[in-house]
Amino acid sequence: MIPPGAIAIVGAAETTELGVIPHLSEIGLHADAALNAMADAGLQPKDIDGLACVGPMRPQMIAHYLGLAPRWVDGTGVGGCSFLLHVRHAAAAIHAGYCSTVLITHGESGRSRVAAMPRLVEPGSLAGQFEMPFGPMGPPTLFPIPVLRYMKTYGVTHEQLAMVAVIQREWAARNPRAMHRDPITVEDVLNSRMIAYPFRLLQCCLVTDGGGALILTSADRARDFPTRPVYILGSGESVETPMVSQMQDFTSSRAFRVAGAEAFRTAGIRHADVDHLMIYDAFAHLPLYGLEDLGFVPRGEAARFVWERNTAPGGRLPVNTNGGGLSYTHTGMYGMFALLESVRQVRGTAPAQVPDVRISVCHGVGGMFGASGTVVLGRERP
Amino acid sequence: MTLPPGRARPEPTPETKHFWDGTRAGELRLQRCTGCARPYFPPRPFCPACGSRKVEVFAASGRARLHSYVIHHRPVPGFTPPYAIAVVELEEGPRMMTNIVDCPQTPEALVLDMPLEVVFVPLDEAITLPLFRPAREAAR
């Protein structure tokens, strides 16, 4: 096992702009974010010897475009949490000596679709045969499919599910880079346009252009960089199924449970140690599943936990402090932005800074509950 | 019952051909392991519980209960919104995605755990889809 804190994040940045960026193609968004992260760390392309980005075929595109000659690459592509897996894999690779300085990039023209990766479901795949004929059209129709079962099992109300979006907007209001910053109420959420019952527009993520990048190296080298190192204390990953209809339990994600437990185990931390939490919120139910499946609250109690403002500004467990996929940004694969907010909170540079963040947990989802990654970041090296 | 054109068309593979042959013949064919006897779906030529290749195809009862769903309000080729995209739990245990027919597409009419029965609806000459409707005994 990698000792907690052996690897650190020394460079972290988003694209210069965020939201609507029609003047950059997808590869251009990767490059903009990567150059910003290299500037943050005081590095040049020649200093990078490891590269991770979401495949297929992306690593060679990005390496060529940026002028990198990596001796370690990772093209893991399991959806929006892929970057959390990249962090875990990169930490292992650096620890093993396969490379010393890893760049992880994300760029996605999710809104403008300038030279964007195609989104296709093969008609002969299992999802193509056993889900697509019944009328799903992307994540808004698939991700919320388990929600009614979750609501019935635990007696969760529409108002409680609306509250998730309300509280994240409160965080977004404190963040100048958030796409939507105007306050909203539970009534506003429940009166917004119906997309796929039980979810309305304000319970669905944004669709934006943007990117982000991280640079990792060994903690022993981290002190030589201009930034405050953010130490990787632990991590976890898992996958379950590419078909939401086939997830084992509609009230809980197995991939969340496996990744979360592994992250806490490898970091050697308890829930009470966590000062700040990011849970990938493509849709309003995900923070509820995340809070329960990571063990922050017992099963069925997350909706009340959020309703009682525990995750809100001033609450005892600040969650999704950038405004999240619901209000900050969501390019399609949001996990990089969740990671970057965790890094900012640990560095002490977040727009809505939580006081004295020593440990931040970042939890991501890929596909429709299909994959998961969890990363534990710390301010001090244990 | 006929379906309007435009739906995504499934492309059977050698491993799933028995399922699509079944729906065309009016049977909902599942598989189960001859060792551990566990029924499973979607089709594959081995048991996902124990890895055994000794599996058999059998006809399911066609009875199910409504496990969860969304009601989609935006246009999709082949569908008239609002329409429900549902997951049903078959009497034999496995779950599958489907649509609920002969039923208003409203939260009031679509009640979780309501009993359903399969109905086979041709998409074209080669493909018949397994859809579900409220069980007749419950409708009386």
Predicted local distance difference test score (pLDDT) of residue A251: 98
Centroid of chain to Cα A179:
17
Note whether B85 contacts A134, CB cutoff 8 Å: yes
User: With contacts defined as CB-CB under 8 Å, which chain B residues touch A241?
Assistant: none
Question: In this structure, is residue B39 part of a structural domain?
Answer: yes
Predicted local distance difference test score (pLDDT) of residue A226: 95
Q: For residue B138, is pLDDT > 70? A: no
As for the ipTM of the complex, it is 0.97
Q: Read off the pLDDT of each residue in A46-54 and give the average, rounded to a whole number.
A: 98
Note whether B71 contacts A246, CB cutoff 8 Å: no
- Give me the domain span that covers residue B93: 17-139
Predicted local distance difference test score (pLDDT) of residue B140: 42
Question: In this structure, is residue B3 part of a structural domain?
Answer: no
Q: Read off the pLDDT of each residue in A306-310 and give the average, rounded to a whole number.
A: 98
- Which amino acid belongs to residue A363? H
Distance from CA of B70 to the nearest CA of A (A): 5
User: With contacts defined as CB-CB under 8 Å, which chain A residues touch B112?
Assistant: 148-149, 152
Distance from CA of B84 to the nearest CA of A (A): 9
pLDDT above 70 as % of chain A: 100
Q: What is the number of structural domains in chain B?
A: 1
The answer, yes or no, to whether the previous bond of A198 is cis (omega within 30 of 0) is yes
Predicted local distance difference test score (pLDDT) of residue B21: 98
DSSP notation for A54-74: -SSSHHHHHHHHHT---SEEE
Question: In this structure, is residue B114 part of a structural domain?
Answer: yes
Note whether B123 contacts A133, CB cutoff 8 Å: yes
Distance from CA of A122 to the nearest CA of B (A): 9
CATH number for A51:
3.40.47.10
Note whether A144 contacts B86, CB cutoff 8 Å: no
Question: In this structure, is residue B11 part of a structural domain?
Answer: no
Distance from CA of A12 to the nearest CA of B (A): 38
Q: How many CA atoms lie within 13 A of A259 on its CB side?
A: 31
Nearest CB among A136, A149, A243 relative to B68 is that of A149
Distance from CA of A229 to the nearest CA of B (A): 44
Let me know: does B98 contact B88? Beta carbons within 8 Å: yes
User: With contacts defined as CB-CB under 8 Å, which chain B residues touch A368?
Assistant: none
- Which amino acid belongs to residue B129? L
A315–B contact, CB cutoff 8 A: no
Question: In this structure, is residue A276 part of a structural domain?
Answer: yes
B81–A contact, CB cutoff 8 A: no
Question: In this structure, is residue A185 part of a structural domain?
Answer: no
Note whether B87 contacts A245, CB cutoff 8 Å: yes
Q: Read off the pLDDT of each residue in A45-49 and give the average, rounded to a whole number.
A: 98
Predicted local distance difference test score (pLDDT) of residue A363: 98
Question: In this structure, is residue A362 part of a structural domain?
Answer: yes
Mutate to test the interface with B, among A149, A192, A245, A252 (most CBs of B within 10 A): A245
pLDDT above 90 as % of chain A: 98
Q: Read off the pLDDT of each residue in A19-27 and give the average, rounded to a whole number.
A: 97
Q: Read off the pLDDT of each residue in A306-319 and give the average, rounded to a whole number.
A: 98
Predicted local distance difference test score (pLDDT) of residue A372: 98
Question: In this structure, is residue A190 part of a structural domain?
Answer: no
- Give me the domain span that covers residue A334: 7-116+206-378
Note whether A133 contacts B68, CB cutoff 8 Å: no
Centroid of chain to Cα A22:
23
Nearest CB among A131, A246, A250 relative to B68 is that of A250
Distance from CA of A132 to the nearest CA of B (A): 6
DSSP notation for B65-97: EEEEEEEE-S-BTTB-SSEEEEEEEETTS-EEE
Residue with token string 């599910």: A161
Question: In this structure, is residue B52 part of a structural domain?
Answer: yes
The pLDDT tens digits for B45-93 are: 999 999 999 999 999 999 999 999 999 999 999 999 999 999 999 999 9
Question: In this structure, is residue B53 part of a structural domain?
Answer: yes
B68–A contact, CB cutoff 8 A: yes
B74–A contact, CB cutoff 8 A: yes
A144–B contact, CB cutoff 8 A: yes
- Largest Cα–Cα distance of chain B, in whole Å? 45
Q: Read off the pLDDT of each residue in A36-60 and give the average, rounded to a whole number.
A: 96
Q: What is the number of structural domains in chain A?
A: 1
Q: Read off the pLDDT of each residue in A26-52 and give the average, rounded to a whole number.
A: 98
Question: In this structure, is residue A173 part of a structural domain?
Answer: no
Averaged pLDDT of chain A: 97
Predicted local distance difference test score (pLDDT) of residue B139: 46
d(CA A233, CA A379): 10
The CA-atom distances, in angstroms, between A40 and each of A36, A73, A340, A359, B138 are 6, 22, 13, 22, 65
Predicted local distance difference test score (pLDDT) of residue B2: 82
Q: How many CA atoms lie within 13 A of A275 on its CB side?
A: 17
B18–A contact, CB cutoff 8 A: no
Predicted local distance difference test score (pLDDT) of residue A216: 98
Nearest CB among B8, B83, B85 relative to A145 is that of B85
Distance from CA of A283 to the nearest CA of B (A): 13
Predicted local distance difference test score (pLDDT) of residue A1: 87
Predicted local distance difference test score (pLDDT) of residue A128: 97
Question: In this structure, is residue B72 part of a structural domain?
Answer: yes
Q: Read off the pLDDT of each residue in A298-316 and give the average, rounded to a whole number.
A: 98
The pLDDT tens digits for A316-368 are: 999 999 999 999 999 999 999 999 999 999 999 999 999 999 999 999 999 99
Least confident residue range of A84-93, A115-124, A168-177, A211-220: A115-124
pTM above 0.95, yes or no: yes
The pLDDT tens digits for A235-285 are: 999 999 999 999 999 999 999 999 999 999 999 999 999 999 999 999 999
